[in-house]
Amino acid sequence: MKKQNVRTLTLIVSTFSYLLVGAAIFDALESNTEDFLRKQYQAAEENMLISYNISRIEYIELEDIVIKYQPHKAGAQWKFPGAFFFSLTVITTIVSVDISDF
């Protein structure tokens, strides 16, 4: 194998490994907080239903009126694929600096 091919392969493997490690770290840091906040929101929602004696159906209707679009609720944002994409975005943003200015 040519020396240039080995360097290229090493660079690709290193970059991909860096992305995987970065995504795993970001996922570990963010997913617990996101889960905690989601559970906290759900508990507050349940308390509001009990406090104001609102049925679940009435709450959903009220939510539809306020939000105007119920599928607006997103799933978990910081799972591994999202964290991987974020890491990839960071690398491509950093690498895209024009080095001819230096």
**pLDDT value of residue 47:** 93
- Its domain, for residue 78, covers 3-86
The model's pLDDT over 37-88, given as tens digits with 9 standing for 90+, comes to 999 999 999 999 899 998 989 888 888 777 766 445 556 667 788 888 888 8
| Contact status, residue 83 vs residue 24, Cβ threshold 8 Å | yes
94 lies in some domain: no
The model's pLDDT over 25-37, given as tens digits with 9 standing for 90+, comes to 988 888 888 889 9
24 lies in some domain: yes
Distance CA 62, CA 4 (A): 63
95 lies in some domain: no
92 lies in some domain: no
SS3 10: helix
The token duo for 28 is 């570990």
56 lies in some domain: yes
SS3 1: coil
102 lies in some domain: no
Number of domains in the chain: 1
